[in-house]
Structure 1
Amino acid sequence: MEFLQEILSAAGADTLRAFTVVPGFGGYFKGVKGVTEFSPGKIVLAVGDMRVSVEGENLTVGRYFMGDMFISGVISSVCIL
């Protein structure tokens, strides 16, 4: 994780609000405050003052703890709204 934090810092990104997607498996999202929309094809997350839309197939919330969320399923797109 130190390498990821180094890359995000160099890019001027906020390391507390980041995500990683593993094709065909799911994604890890940091800084999640809540879920504003949920269906098997779309999950919208409240992340700071932004909304992040995760679209795909068979999406489920795998785990959520202290702002970190794992979404399982086949993620086809992630958009900041």
Structure 2
Amino acid sequence: MFFCLVILPLLSSAQLYRSHEVKPGQLSIHLTEGEMTLRPLSDKAIRVQWEKNGSKEEQQFVLNASLKTPAFKVTDEGSK
């Protein structure tokens, strides 16, 4: 939750939100300069991936694919 409230706005402050898409096990946020994908890894960890012009970061430091994705909920509160 801390990430979504504090860090995410800082990362996307120079970009404009276009849309978002909830897929099984992840949330994709489409911005003017690329796509940010958020995947919950556990109750206290998420994975953030950035894709720009169809190219993803090739190197991955830590990812345990055998972990089951925890349940998550996406809500849209609109602009306040």
Report if TM-score (shorter chain) is over 0.5: no
More strand by share: 1
Report the TM-score when normalising by structure 2. Answer: 0.39
Report the TM-score when normalising by structure 1. Answer: 0.38
